Amino acid sequence: MQLNIKNEYDRLEAVLVHRPGEEIDRLTHDNMSEYLFEDIPYLRRMQDEHDAFCETMRNQGIQVLYLATLLAETLENQPNVRRKLIETICAAENVPAIAPELLDESQVSTDALMGALFRGLTVQEYRDLTGKPFPQTSSKEGMLFGPTPNAYFTRDPAVVVRESVISCKMHYVRRLRETIITRSIFEHHPEFAGHEITYGGSDSPTEDRPFTIEGGDIIILNEEAVLVGASERTRSETIEVLAQKAIDVGGVQRFYEIPIPTERLFMHLDTVFTIVDHATVVWYPGVMENLKRITLYTRSPSGEITRKSESRNLHRILSDEFGKEVRIIETAGGDEHYASREQRTDGTNVFAIGPRRVIGYDRNERTLAALADAGIECFNIQGSELVRGLGGPRCMTMPLRRSAESIDT
């Protein structure tokens, strides 16, 4: 797999996704907020919607890779990788005592281990799996570690920028396992051999918490410039550390820090702003027209990384970076009432699979109409269950490779 992402809109060739599984059925009324859900999805329908989404991409010639498949292949026949992954996860979940039993391949198959890593593991399931009791609790229903229902949002745990990988650090503890799993795949799966993790590798403890950053806040403008949202999930301090690494070793020359409201409704930059073509963007005006304190990170002539407050507004920055006046498509076509509704259902979070070609939820009719009026081809998918985790098509994808096509200038 040759990784190569230089912008948000070139023709997509390969993408990483996760099909929702039994981890979704762990959600209850009592725990759904803890796991960052607004409601309890219906798993079978959710899987049907996700399958249709992936089929839409395959019909456009896109190679769709699955997180669980890559993880199983990573663990198979690599005992050292398996041991490191399980020990890291058990330590993160504060149950290091169970790691030796989970590493016993005579008792725990790769398939069984995979199920536990995504679905979570109760005390009773641990006993059934290993034949050993867990003496610290008498509850048969207690969780040794919880599920990962947000794993289908593969955008967040890692991002490919040019030919390298940024391994992200999740803001909420309940999502840490997604980072650990995804990082292990990029570090050890043969498909990704030879690629560098620019930021957040397993041997980079100084980049760990509290330096949190999530992939939904990272938007690639071009080969030289990246936008990063300072948001509910991504700290400004992290952006500075990431800018240093990306400029030093990642080939990026300009890093823009974009502050957005630290509210759940606007959890990531890509919930209020996406790029659908060269010099064409979709944005939610309620947030994007009220930005303040944009910060630019660059390298000074003396070689140091500097930061300064931008005098330009985002419209001017985008126009300068694209080399032409940017075209803005507003959520719901600018209708304030419907923009508020469709912002909630990820109308802005469309996913570009090529120049002027996007995938969006069919329920966001006014945003899709505004895109179509602007000459953007829309592939519409159902998302009534998928959207219950507050994420759209861009959230559900980690692009791995794009191929440049001709751009109208």
CB neighbours of 217 closer than 8 A, spacing ≥ 6?
228, 229, 230, 231, 233, 234, 268, 269, 270
CB neighbours of 351 closer than 8 A, spacing ≥ 6?
274, 358, 359, 360, 392, 393, 394, 396, 397
Q: DSSP letter for 169, please.
A: B
153 Ramachandran zone, left/alpha/beta (phi>0; psi -120 to 50):
beta
CB neighbours of 302 closer than 8 A, spacing ≥ 6?
none
Q: Are 260 and 287 in contact (CB under 8 A)?
A: yes
324: tokens are: 């032409």
Q: Whose CA is closest to 318, among 354, 282, 359?
A: 282
CA distance 172 to 177: 10
Q: Are 164 and 201 in contact (CB under 8 A)?
A: no
DSSP string, 77-130: T-HHHHHHHHHHHHHHTT-GGGHHHHT-TTTS-HHHHHHHHHH-EEHHHHHHHH
Residue 54 bears catalytic tag: no
Between strands 143-145 and 121-122, the pairing is antiparallel
CA atoms within 13 A on the CB side of 16: 25
CA distance 119 to 116: 5
Query: Looking at 54, 90, 378, 395, which residue is catalytic?
Result: 395
CA distance 111 to 71: 10
Q: Are 99 and 86 in contact (CB under 8 A)?
A: yes
CA distance 178 to 152: 10
Amino acid letter, residue 174? R
What's the residue count for the chain?
409
Between strands 164-167 and 158-161, the pairing is antiparallel
DSSP helix, strand, coil percent of the chain (3-state; round to 5): 40, 20, 40
Residues that are catalytic = 395
